[in-house]
Chain A
Amino acid sequence: MKRLSDFVVKNSKVIIVGVVVLTIIFGFFAAKINVNSDIISYLPKDDPAVKLFKKCGKIFGSNYLIMAALENPEGIFNHKTLTIIKDITDEISELDGVAHANSLTKIIDIKEIEGGIEVSDLIQDEIPETPEEIKKLKKYVLSKDMYKGSMISEDGTATVVMAKISEDADKFAVAKEIKDIIDKNKGDMKVYYTGMPIWMVFINDIIMNDLIKLIPFVVLVISLILFISFKNFKSLILILLTVIISSIWSIGVMSILGVDMTMVSDIIPVILIAVGSAYGIHFINKYMEERKKGLTNRAELIGKSVKEVGIPIILAGLTTMAGFFSYITADLSLVKEFGFFTGIGVVFTLLLSITFIPAILMNTDIKSRNRHKDSTEKHISIFHRFMDKLGERVIKKEKQIVIMFLLVAVVAGALAFKLTREVNMEKYFPEDNAIRKASEYIKKSFGGSVPIQLYIEADNVKSPFVIKQMFLAEKYINSFKTVSNPQSIADMVCELNKIMNGYYGIPETDEQIANLWMFIEGQEILEQMINSDEDKSLLQATTSSVDTGNILSQVRLIENFIENKMNKKYIEVNINENSDKFERLLDLKLNRVFEMIDYDLKGENIFNIDLKNIKEKVKEIYLNTKLNIRTSEQKKNNIITRMFNIVKNSIPEQKQSPKLLKLIKGDLYELTQSTEYIPEDIAKTLGISGEEYQLKAEQTGMGPIYKRLDKNLVSSQLQSMILAFIIVFLLISFQLKSLKGGAISVIPILFTILFNFGLMVILKIPLDNATIMIGGIIIGIGIDYTIHFISRFKTEFENKSSVEISLKRTLETTGTGIIINALSVGFGFLVLIFGTLVPIRNFGVLTFVTMIISALSAITILPAILILTKAKFIGEFDKIMQTDMAKMLKAQAANKLKNFKRR
């Protein structure tokens, strides 16, 4: 320390110039920092879920979907509005980095015409102009399930433009361009945006705005607190300067290392300003204290101050740093980066506080003004009285205090298991935010924008086996309440087959599918569903769920479905060629048909239909009519219609939508085909062999990404907290030379952490990318309170005064300091409630509360345990206790006497 202070004294000007130069350099880079709010980039690049997500993005042209709903209250079916939609769509399609753009003016239309079929764009080159044409178009569009509720709202007042941004494009920049195009062309229509890339655009803006908005705020709050405690402008400026400089440095280092700003790292400056000022305060306090004592030589003043407070400041800094650095183990890059760069920032603040501040003080003096001393004293005396009372309580009721804390800890700990997690970007926006409102609007009219996908690999994905399996999966996924807009090659084939053969189902042979395919070959939309080698396919839908828990349970259900139904070996059989096993095979076919019907019904929110009974009736018809491949088409149609009517009549009439009836009829037509694919294990037990078929399905889209984010959130929290505890425990044990001391010292922070989790459950605050940091902050900062308390208590104890007096003195001095520090740091954090994003607001509230809890537990539960355990590392309790007991008994007797007199 001596060497350090000598160095600073000798080279004060060099240090000042150095800091200024470094600040200019770092500031230059800090100003150029990039912002990144792509949540997928927060996961490790080699994560299997991320790899699959990106792979599908590359093959099928992207997972980054933007949806813009354009609303015209008078209806969108008029020449002007449709022209706008067309212009927007065309312009977006031309953008580099847009893989696909879609809208009513570009969507594929598979239409039945007299005696034939037509596959074209819904609206071709010219937008209809005459009222009759417009009316015809409106009627047609609203009659098609393919468009209603996905491309156009049911009342025809809003329509969507969708754009998918290429996997390798700068998603943020392209999303912005898309938004600009729409905003430029929209006329007086109202536009609602949703989708990850667009959220990124808004979050990026918010990150920068919040940074600019919150820093002055926190500076103001901290200045106020500093001014109250120092009543000195110069020291206020000096301390603020150090924390601002260290903020600039850490952002600068981030920028130089190519690390982007995220929605959590934008609060690094706020944290550094709130937390880091303590070091400067310590130093200047000491400096002024020595100065008041009459020391005037600046070099000596600095030397003494550095010597006295240098070590405590470094120790406090080291533990805080440990709290943040512990997040380096996190499995989420934004958490990792936040921990690392805040830790670096703490180091910078620490270094500046013991070099830059003394270097400045070498060149300018600070005079303390004593004018306001009276009022300060008054404040402090209030604190003193409070602390005295507190001391008495702790001494008398140490057991009760421990029990009370234990109870709270147990309750909080039990609640902690109910802690929810939130990884959905949409929920980062507050409910009253325009983004959330827009999302809600789009969900209501068009379903969600969060992709659910099934990636399929097979030798030939256009084979009837694969398409039928995909069709089943599609029906299953679509049976979830929040899922809509399913899309796959199965739909395309069904649409064509409906026109060709009259039913919405998959034909039986490869050739039939290949023949139908001739109509749609080369259509742009297919690029999103099948690769050119035709060995990979993508089934997609969107979910409107914003609830992470709900999304994760969907992910699990789909995983189970894939495992039980998709990724199995199947054997092709002809049910009519195995006469001895015919009935068993027919049952298998019927089971699959009715599984499809079941999903179709659930998709339309119809439950409680006795399908088992209906299945028996259908089977009866099948057996009675001897339906088989040789049955004439006319007769087949009649038989299926009979079966269909049975199913139809069991559905309440108001729920018989044309779409549902079309699906059910299609399902039943499966019975006209004699080919069936049965699971290999069943085939074995039946002793049937045949050609083997297998596909490989994997779930992708946002679901598995959320699942991974969620899993990593939990693991990151646990890993980093355990690591932080170990580091802090070791540091303190080493300093106190007592493992027991280390263990006792972490109790207040352990309590605070449990309290925090309990509080989160009560306030319904989820664990997310921001609130995950609170544990580390509690450990890093909370431990300082313990350190200060114990070291003071130990010193007082060494003076051999009684336990009570030692405690009271500790509370009056250090206790007051702890509370003031916790309040100032807490208020600094509280500024974050003015942030825009929900996680940041929650973070602000929670850190404020936990700072106070952490300080309070350091001055209550900590001494209570120390007294209860008679911890040896503090001193010889027993010796002092005896005299203490005598005093206490005396006091109690006096109290009783007082009460007696009152009566």
Chain B
Amino acid sequence: MKRFKILSLILLVLSAFTYSLIAQTFSGNQILKKVEDTMLAPKSTVADATMILIDKRGKQKVRKVKMWTKGKKKRVVKFLKPADVKGVGFLVLSDNDMYLYMPAFKKIRRIASHVKHQSFMGTDFSYDDISTTEYTKHYTGKLLKETDKEYIIEAKRKKSSDKEYDKLKMWVDKTSFLPTKVEMYKKNKLKKVMKNNKIEKIGKYWMATDIVMTNVKKKHKTAFKLENLKFDKAVSARIFTKRYLKRGVR
């Protein structure tokens, strides 16, 4: 028994040592890539989400949506609450192919592609923020600092990229390889802060399930909470069609 204890202790020290060795070899770019991989790991997801819009005076507006994702691009968001927007649906097929369904008019309208930097339905997330997380395609990472629990990296926008923020600062959790915090800068000015207050492992995937996005200048916040997450096979491909967009949700 004693021996086993010692052995395990040795193993533990060793593994910690190798872990730190491996870790130290990680470059900023590698970390970015790992973050991206973690985020894109599920082939598809479905979840119930609560969006709470909080203005600078602390007033809250609550919205409930059901959302589906598939691959890097495809997304569907359907509004459940409040009642007057129930059934409103948002479909993303690709960066340039977005649609909004309005049940009150029974009409589908295309949404222009270059509204990416605009607020998504009054939240502090832009259309871009909620679409994809292909960090390595748009940013070059640099490791600033490493602590016991996290890496702090700086991601600079590549010249070819049309992303809104020219610099990101990320605090990446070493266990999950998901950021606990992302600061978004434009011309060296902090514009938005995203915080992942809760990172949990659901099934085989790490997920951030309590996200708060703050618009620094407007002092406006959006809390985004995910529940009932299901992955992969649970999501049918026909959801990502205009026809399905028109269908009601429970």
Mark A residues whose CB is within 8 Å of B. Answer: 93-94, 111, 113-121, 124-125, 499-501, 507, 509-519, 521-524, 532-533
Min C-beta distance of A747 to chain B, whole Å: 63
Contact present for B85 and A514 (CB under 8 Å): yes
A605 to B: closest C-beta gap in Å: 35
Q: How far is the CA of A157 from the CA of B123 in the complex (A)?
A: 37
Contact B59 A118 (CB under 8 A): no
Starting from the known contacts A116-B109, A117-B110, 9 additional A-B residue pairs (CB-CB under 8 Å) come to: A94-B217, A115-B110, A116-B110, A119-B115, A120-B112, A120-B115, A512-B105, A518-B122, A521-B119
The answer on a CB contact under 8 Å between B61 and A120 is no
Cα-based distance from A124 to B114 in the complex (angstroms) = 9
Q: In chain B, what residue has the closest Cβ to A521? A: B122
Determine which of B104, B122, B218 lies in contact with A509 in the assembled complex, contact meaning CB atoms within 8 Å. B104
Question: Could you tell me if A514 and B84 are in contact, using CB atoms closer than 8 angstroms?
Answer: yes
B46 at the interface (CB under 8 A from A): no
Contacts A/B (CB < 8 Å), 18 sampled = A116-B100, A118-B111, A118-B114, A120-B112, A120-B117, A125-B117, A500-B105, A500-B107, A500-B109, A514-B104, A515-B88, A515-B103, A517-B85, A518-B100, A522-B53, A522-B124, A522-B220, A523-B119
Asked if B55 and A532 make an inter-chain contact with CB atoms under 8 angstroms apart, the answer reads: yes
Q: Which residue of B105, B107, B114, B121 is within 8 Å of A120 (Cβ)?
A: B114
* A510 with B84: CB separation less than 8 A: yes
**Leading 4 A-B pairs by shortest Cβ distance:** A116-B110, A521-B122, A522-B122, A118-B112
A325 to B189, CA, bound (A): 56
Asked if residues A518 and B88 are in contact (CB atoms below 8 Å), the reply is yes
Check if B57 is an interface residue, CB within 8 A of chain A.
yes
Which A residues lie within 8 Å of B229 (CB)? Answer: none
Q: Decide if B36 is an interface residue (CB 8 Å cutoff).
A: no
User: When each residue 212-239 of chain B gets 1 if its CB lies under 8 Å from chain A and 0 otherwise, what string results?
Assistant: 0000011010000000000000000000
Other-chain contact of B59, A513, A515, A523, A533 (Cβ < 8 Å): A533
- Whether A124 touches B119, Cβ cut-off 8 Å, given contacts A518-B88, A533-B59, is no
B37 within 8 A of A: no
Which residues of chain A come closer than 8 Å to B82, judged between CB atoms?
Answer: 514
Question: Given contacts A115-B109, A116-B109, A522-B123, are A515 and B104 in contact (CB under 8 A)?
Answer: yes
Given A511-B103, A512-B105, A515-B85; A522-B112 close (CB under 8 Å): no
Q: Which residue of A lies closest to B79 (CB)?
A: A518
A125/B164 contact (C-beta < 8 A), A120-B115, A516-B102, A523-B119 known: yes
Q: What is the interface of chain B, defined by CB distance below 8 A to chain A?
A: 53, 55, 57, 59, 61, 82, 84-85, 88, 99-100, 102-105, 107, 109-112, 114-115, 117-119, 121-124, 164, 189, 217-218, 220
Least CB separation from B61: chain A residue? A532
Q: What residues on A are CB-neighbors of B102 within 8 Å?
A: 500, 512, 515-516, 518
Q: How far is the CA of A223 from the CA of B207 in the complex (A)?
A: 87
Please measure, in the bound complex, the distance between the C-alpha atom of A293 and the C-alpha atom of B99, giving whole angstroms: 106
Contacts of B117 in A (CB 8 A): 120, 124-125
SS of A interface (majority): mixed
Q: Is B104 within 8 A of A117, CB to CB?
A: no
Which residue on chain B has the smallest CB distance to residue A534? B61
Q: Given A125-B164, A516-B102, A522–B121 Cβ distance below 8 Å?
A: yes
Residues of B within 8 A of A501 (CB): 105
A118 contact set on B, CB distance < 8 A = 111-112, 114-115
> Are A515 and B110 neighbours in the complex by a CB distance under 8 Å?
no
Contact A515 B105 (CB under 8 A): yes
B104 adjacent to A116 (CB under 8 Å): no
> Complex formed: what's the CA distance from A117 to B103 in Å?
16
Q: Which B residues are in CB contact (< 8 Å) with A509? A: 104
A639 to B244, CA, bound (A): 34
Q: Which residue of B lies closest to A519 (CB)?
A: B100
> What's the nearest-Cβ distance from chain B to residue A727, in Å?
51
Contact A521 B109 (CB under 8 A): no
Contacts of A94 in B (CB 8 A): 189, 217
Instruction: Contact check, A116 vs B112: say whether CB atoms are below 8 A apart.
Output: yes
Q: How far is the CA of A117 from the CA of B109 in the complex (A)?
A: 7
Cα-based distance from A533 to B99 in the complex (angstroms): 28
Contact between chains at B112 and A113 (CB < 8 Å):
yes
- Kindly report which residue of chain B lies nearest to residue A463, judged by CB atoms: B84
The residue that B111 contacts in the complex, of A117, A121, A521, with Cβ under 8 A, is A117
Q: Please, which residues of chain A bring their CB within 8 A of the CB of B104?
A: 507, 509, 511-512, 514-515
CB nearest neighbor in A for B123: A522
Nearest chain B CB to A445 CB, angstrom units: 30
Q: A516 — which chain B residues lie within 8 A by C-beta?
A: 102
Asked whether, in the complex, the Cβ of B84 is within 8 Å of the Cβ of A114, the reply is: no
How distant is A504 from chain B, measured CB to nearest CB, in Å? 16
Give every chain A residue within 8 A of B122 (Cβ-Cβ): 518, 521-522
A83–chain B nearest beta-carbon distance, Å = 14
Closest to B60 in A: A532
CB distance from A574 to the nearest CB of B (A): 18
Least Cβ–Cβ distance between A57 and chain B, in angstroms: 15
Chain B residues near A514 (CB, 8 Å)?
82, 84-85, 104
Pick from A115, A125, A507, A522: contact of B119, CB under 8 Å? A522
